[in-house]
Amino acid sequence: MMFGNAWIHDSTKYLLVLQGLLLSLALSACGGFHLRGAESPMLRPLQFGRVAITGLEPGNRFIQALQQALQVQGALLVDTQSKPDLLLNITRFMEDKTVSAYSSVRQVREFNHFIKIDFIATPTAKIVKADRASLKATVRAEQAQVYDSRYILGVAEGEHIIRKELRDEAARLLVLRLRALQ
């Protein structure tokens, strides 16, 4: 009996020491972690005060989401004749869905909705560093939609909501990419 209790007591002591070591190791690993402060470029408004968007029709639903995302970040939307600080040219825009899963009886079970945007952002103002003349990048947002034939009436509404969320997310990601020019 004594041997069993002594072993339990010793193993508990070792576990406590091990926990202490792991805790101190984890805390020392977090030493370089800092929360973003007010000076973070991700929290400041965009330095490009006047932004012109080209490449898509003005009535495009993505353009509406992008305009809203830019305005939230403090940008003023202008046309190309009004001398913008940043010219944003959407060179390719794709919004589609693909089948990503089938059921055992070969019926569609899941769709993958996506938006892919290629763009070139060219600053016309002198507020950027010399090594950041322009930015050519791609933004992609995607989301899965599970299809259930028992709830067919809600499928169209669900697809509409997913597409709106994807446009908003792609616009947010594009604005974050524009911050690379600042």
- DSSP output for 144-167: EEE--GGGGGGHHHHHHHHHHHHH
Distance of CA 75 to the CA centre of its chain: 19
Domain count, the chain: 1
Query: Length of the chain, please?
Result: 182
Decide if 90 is inside a domain. Answer: yes
Decide if 142 is inside a domain. Answer: yes
Decide if 25 is inside a domain. Answer: no
CATH of the domain at 120: 3.30.160.150
Domain extent, residue 112, equals 41-181
Decide if 170 is inside a domain. Answer: yes
pLDDT tens for the chain, residues 1 to 182: 455 555 556 677 777 777 877 777 666 666 655 555 444 544 455 667 889 999 998 788 999 999 999 998 888 889 988 889 889 999 999 999 888 777 778 777 788 899 999 999 988 866 555 555 788 999 999 998 887 766 665 566 788 889 999 999 999 999 998 877 76
Q: What is the rounded end-to-end Cα distance, in angstroms, of the chain?
A: 71
> What's at 108, amino acid-wise?
V
Decide if 23 is inside a domain. Answer: no
CA distance 135 to 149: 44
Alpha helices in the chain (DSSP H): 2-29, 61-72, 155-178
